[in-house]
Chain A
Amino acid sequence: MVDSGQQSYGRHRVLMVSDFFYPNFGGVENHIYYLSQCLLQRGHKVVVATHAYGRRSGVRYMTNGLKVYYIPRLPFIQQNVLPTLSGSLPIIRTILVREGITLVHGHQAFSTLCHESLLHARTMGLRVVFTDHSLYGFADLGSIHMNKVLQFTLADVHQAICVSHTSKENTVLRSGLNPEKVFVIPNAVDTAMFRPDPEACPSIKDQVIIVVISRLVYRKGADLLVEVIPEVCRLFPKVRFIVGGDGPKRVRLEEMREKHGLQDRVEMLGSVPHAEVRSVLVRGHIFLNSSLTEAFCIAILEAASCGLLTVSTRVGGVPEVLPDDMIVLAPPVPAEMVVAIGQAIKLLPQVDPFSMHNRMKNLYSWMDVAKRTEVVYDQALRSEDDDLLLRLGRYYACGPWAGKLFCLVAVVNYIVWCFLEWQQPAKEMEITPDLPPPQAFVDKLD
Chain B
Amino acid sequence: MGEARGVTMEGIKEEARVAEGCRQFEDPRHDCKNCPQRVRWKKVVYGGMQCGYADNYKDSSFLEAMVMNANVVKRDTATVMVDSVGIASHVSVVALVATVWTHALNGALPASVLLLLDALVLLMGFLALLLTIKCVFSLPFVVQIARNFTLFVSAIYVLAPVFQTLTRSISSDSIWALTVSLLVVHLFCHDYTSSTSPSTVAASLSKDAPSKKTSKAQETTLLANVSMNASIVASVLIASRLPTHLYVFALMLFSLEFFLLFPLVTHCIRQRSVNLHLGFSCTLIFFTLGLIFPLSRLAFVLFITVIVFITLVCPYWLIRIQEYKFEINGPWDEAKLCFDLD
Contact = CB atoms under 8 A, between A and B. Distances in A.
B148 interface: no
Nearest to B23: A368
Contacts of A365: 48
Given A166-B332, A336-B1, A184 B27 contact: no
Q: Secondary structure of the B side of the interface?
A: loop
A323 B15 contact: yes
Interface stretch (A135-143, A389-397, A427-435): A135-143
B327 A138 contact: yes
Given A166-B331, A169-B66, A375-B28, A350 B15 contact: no
B28 A329 contact: no
A183 B335 CA distance: 25
Interface stretch (A69-77, A219-227, A415-423): A219-227
A194 to B, nearest CB: 15
Given A183-B56, A223-B337, A376-B55, A362 B20 contact: yes
Interface stretch (B39-47, B99-107, B261-269, B308-316): B39-47
A31 to B, nearest CB: 13
Contacts of A4: 26-28
Interface in A354-388: 355, 359, 362-365, 368, 371-372, 374-376, 378
A292 B11 contact: no
A328 B56 contact: no
Interface residues of B, number: 48
A324 B46 CA distance: 11
A182 interface: yes
Interface stretch (B2-10, B157-165, B166-174, B191-199): B2-10
A359 B16 CA distance: 8
Given A184-B55, A363-B19, A333 B5 contact: no
Given A184-B45, A293-B333, A332-B337, A7 B58 contact: no
B243 interface: no
B62 interface: yes
Interface in A319-346: 320-325, 327-334, 336, 339-340, 343-344
Interface in B10-60: 11-12, 15-16, 19-20, 23, 26-30, 43-49, 54-56, 58
B26 A2 contact: yes
Interface string B322-342: 000001101111111111010
Contacts of A371: 28
A49 B26 CA distance: 30
Contacts of A372: 48-49, 55
A315 interface: yes
Given A4-B26, A329-B3, A165 B43 contact: yes
Given A179-B56, A362-B16, A137 B332 contact: yes
Given A165-B45, A323-B11, A324-B3, A375 B30 contact: yes
B5 A325 contact: yes
B78 interface: no
Q: Kindly state the interface size class of chain A when it binds its partner.
A: 35 or more
B28 A173 contact: no
Interface in A34-69: none
Contacts of A200: none
Nearest to A351: B7
B63 interface: yes
Given A139-B327, A183-B56, A362-B15, A343 B332 contact: no
Given A313-B335, A323-B15, A333-B338, A362 B5 contact: no
Given A7-B28, A325-B7, A173 B63 contact: yes
A180 interface: yes
Contacts of B43: 165, 320
A216 to B, nearest CB: 14
Contacts of B62: 169, 179
Contacts of A8: 28
B302 to A, nearest CB: 33
Contacts of B55: 183-185, 372, 375-376
A167 interface: yes
A362 B28 contact: no
A340 B332 CA distance: 22
Contacts of A375: 28-30, 54-55
Given A138-B327, A376-B55, A340 B1 contact: yes
Interface string A189-223: 00000000000000000000000000000010101
A179 B195 CA distance: 49
Contacts of A137: 332-334
B4 A328 contact: yes
A343 B66 contact: no
A153 to B, nearest CB: 18
Contacts of B54: 183, 375
Interface in A290-332: 292-293, 295-296, 311, 313, 315-317, 320-325, 327-332
Q: Which of A170, A313, A330, A334 has the most CB of B within 10 A?
A: A170
A334 B335 CA distance: 13
Contacts of A313: 335
B318 to A, nearest CB: 20
A181 interface: yes
A365 B27 CA distance: 18
Contacts of A163: 45
A251 interface: no
B46 to A, nearest CB: 4
B204 to A, nearest CB: 14
Contacts of B337: 223-224, 292, 332
A434 to B, nearest CB: 24
A325 B6 contact: yes
Contacts of B56: 159, 179-184
A186 interface: yes
A108 interface: no
A339 B1 contact: yes
A334 B27 CA distance: 47
Nearest to A341: B2
A334 B20 CA distance: 39
B46 A325 contact: no
Given A137-B332, A166-B331, 9 more contacts: A139-B327, A164-B45, A167-B332, A184-B56, A321-B45, A324-B5, A331-B335, A339-B1, A362-B47
Interface of A: 2, 4, 7-8, 135-139, 159, 163-167, 169-170, 172-173, 179-186, 219, 221, 223-224, 227, 292-293, 295-296, 311, 313, 315-317, 320-325, 327-334, 336, 339-340, 343-344, 347, 350-351, 355, 359, 362-365, 368, 371-372, 374-376, 378
Q: List the 6 closest A-B pairs by CB distance, nearest first.
A: A328-B2, A186-B45, A170-B332, A183-B55, A293-B334, A135-B332
